[in-house]
Amino acid sequence: MRASPINALQLSFFTDARRRTGEQLLVDWHSLVDVAESAATAGVRINVIQASHEPGHIERNGVNYFFMAPPATGSLVGSPGFIARLNELAPQVIHIHGLGFARDVIALREVVPRTPLLLQDHADRPPHFWRRSYWRRGIAAANGVSFCAREQAREFSRRGLLPPHVEVFEIPESTSRFTPGDRAAARAATGIGGDPCVLWVGHLDRNKDPLAVLAGVAAALDELPQLQLWCCFGTAPLFEEVRARIDADARLRERVHLLGRVRHEQVEMLMRAADLFVLGSHREGSSFSLIEALATGLTPVVSDIPSLRTLTSNGAIGALWSPGNARALGTALVHVTRTLSPASRAQVRAHFDACLSQRAIGEQLRAAYRAVIAAREATPMTA
């Protein structure tokens, strides 16, 4: 007899400062939908409760999204509506987005003392020492924590925030619905080009390190004189420094194009048009832009940090370079450009399908749900 599907609740305590409607959140918060539907593709029965200033209910692609307003003071968990909905849904496991909601997790554990809780990291950083005791209690109330890269858990363990009984899972933060497309058509539509045509998608800030990327591009130009770099970005605290660096080098002035903010759908077309995707981050919980690049089959040349290592299977796809090391980036750009072939895009997309697609992430989530359910069932009632 086939086992019944797991009944899981995905729960997000994040509240939108812009007070968007539930319909708009499902459009703008891609991961909210993608993580839920990924689990659903693996046969998990999924409901979602999302904290929201605008209450409502939306059913989409077999997933129910319940938008619930937190009380003026206190946790969403303490509201009668939440308790009633929780009792109605009766989940076997609760998957909570984010590690920074200790108050809510502690309250939830009191309401459902036997239901396993899985927390998912979303680029959370260990708090200042005066808040660590509360975080420790919140994480200790869970049965499992997922990170994009298992290595990211070490930072929490070193600070005493991750007790031994909490199992660590390695699961990508989200997936992407981008797809590959015809490069020539994409270049005609976007007007970008180069040999190679290199794309950057990320903020112009210290963490993303655009200055190191510009220096790396400059280092590669003797070998790659036709290289063109196209930069999409949102916030740009380093814009003036970036502009000055480009203006100070005639070769960069001819080859670096600051596109600024572009629509999300336009990013997909730019990725189809490019040959390489470059990223210089010193720290990432994950990288949505890298995941999107891989979905289009775009070869990555990204910094060698835990999450990006994991997303590229330790550099099996594209190349990794030491963050901040412009010479290493220049060498990587030259090497990867010389090894590109007509089959490269299909190979990158095959990696995405195997490791980062909805189905792949859904299977990983289902396995994690099963593991925490089994562990909780094996725990004595007194624990």
Domain of residue 85, CATH code? 3.40.50.2000
Q: Is residue 198 part of a domain?
A: yes
The predicted-structure confidence for 312-365, as pLDDT tens digits, reads as follows 999 999 999 999 999 999 999 999 999 999 999 999 999 999 999 999 999 999
Return the higher-pLDDT residue of 3 and 170: 170
Inform me whether the pLDDT recorded for 242 exceeds 80: yes
> Can you tell me the mean pLDDT for 28-53?
95
Inform me whether the pLDDT recorded for 376 exceeds 90: no
Considering only CA atoms, which of 130, 265, 131, 243 is closest in space to residue 189? 265
Position 3 confidence tier, pLDDT thresholds 50, 70, 90? low
- Examine the domain organization and report whether 73 and 98 are in the same domain: yes
| Contact present, 8 and 43 (Cβ < 8 Å) | no
The C-alpha atoms of residue 94 and residue 77 are separated, in whole angstroms, by: 13
- Examine the domain organization and report whether 286 and 234 are in the same domain: yes
Considering only CA atoms, which of 177, 275, 287 is closest in space to residue 226? 275
Position 381 confidence tier, pLDDT thresholds 50, 70, 90? low
Return the higher-pLDDT residue of 129 and 369: 369
Considering only CA atoms, which of 29, 35, 123, 101 is closest in space to residue 369? 35
- Examine the domain organization and report whether 261 and 136 are in the same domain: no
In whole angstroms, what separates CA 298 from the centre of its chain?
A: 17
The predicted-structure confidence for 43-83, as pLDDT tens digits, reads as follows 999 999 999 988 999 999 999 999 999 887 778 998 889 99
- Examine the domain organization and report whether 162 and 206 are in the same domain: no
Q: Is residue 187 part of a domain?
A: yes
- Examine the domain organization and report whether 363 and 219 are in the same domain: no
The C-alpha atoms of residue 235 and residue 245 are separated, in whole angstroms, by: 18
- Examine the domain organization and report whether 129 and 244 are in the same domain: no
- Examine the domain organization and report whether 298 and 266 are in the same domain: yes
- Examine the domain organization and report whether 198 and 230 are in the same domain: yes
Which residues form the domain of 81?
7-175+359-377
- Examine the domain organization and report whether 78 and 134 are in the same domain: yes
- Examine the domain organization and report whether 231 and 327 are in the same domain: yes
Residue 12 — left, alpha, or beta (φ > 0 → left; ψ -120 to 50 → alpha)?
beta
Looking at residue 379, what is its pLDDT? 73
The C-alpha atoms of residue 315 and residue 351 are separated, in whole angstroms, by: 11
3-state class of 139 per DSSP? helix
| Contact present, 144 and 119 (Cβ < 8 Å) | yes
Q: Is residue 2 part of a domain?
A: no
- The share of the chain scoring above pLDDT 90, in percent, equals 87
| Contact present, 305 and 281 (Cβ < 8 Å) | yes
Beta sheet of 167-170, edge-to-edge order: 56-60, 63-68, 45-51, 7-12, 93-97, 117-120, 144-147, 167-170
Q: How many residues in total does the chain contain?
A: 383
pTM of the model: 0.93
Average pLDDT, the chain: 94
Position 380 confidence tier, pLDDT thresholds 50, 70, 90? low
3-state class of 133 per DSSP? helix
Inform me whether the pLDDT recorded for 261 exceeds 70: yes
Position 224 confidence tier, pLDDT thresholds 50, 70, 90? very high
- Tell me the Cα Rg of the chain: 22
- Structure letter (DSSP) for residue 195: B
The C-alpha atoms of residue 9 and residue 96 are separated, in whole angstroms, by: 8
> Can you tell me the mean pLDDT for 84-104?
95
CA dist 118 → 124, 140, 375 (Å):
15, 11, 12
3-state class of 109 per DSSP? helix
- Examine the domain organization and report whether 122 and 149 are in the same domain: yes
Inform me whether the pLDDT recorded for 289 exceeds 90: yes
Inform me whether the pLDDT recorded for 2 exceeds 60: no
Position 1 confidence tier, pLDDT thresholds 50, 70, 90? very low
> Can you tell me the mean pLDDT for 192-198?
98
**Total number of domains constituting the chain:** 2
Per-residue tokens: 80: 């009668």
| Angle at CA of residue 136, ends 135 and 142, nearest 5° | 95
Residue 15 — left, alpha, or beta (φ > 0 → left; ψ -120 to 50 → alpha)?
beta
Q: Is residue 382 part of a domain?
A: no
Return the higher-pLDDT residue of 266 and 71: 266
Return the higher-pLDDT residue of 375 and 309: 309
The C-alpha atoms of residue 95 and residue 146 are separated, in whole angstroms, by: 10
Looking at residue 383, what is its pLDDT? 43
CA dist 94 → 115, 345, 361 (Å):
7, 37, 17
| Angle at CA of residue 235, ends 230 and 241, nearest 5° | 70
- On the question of a cis peptide bond just before residue 196, with omega within 30 degrees of 0, the verdict is yes
Considering only CA atoms, which of 310, 264, 268, 318 is closest in space to residue 285? 310
- The share of the chain scoring above pLDDT 70, in percent, equals 98
Burial of residue 296 (number of CB atoms within 10 Å: 0-12, 13-18, 19+): buried
Sequence-distant (≥ 6) Cβ neighbours of residue 298 within 8 angstroms: 199, 271, 272, 274, 275, 276, 277, 345, 348
Q: Is residue 348 part of a domain?
A: yes
- Examine the domain organization and report whether 215 and 149 are in the same domain: no
Considering only CA atoms, which of 314, 57, 324, 298 is closest in space to residue 197? 298
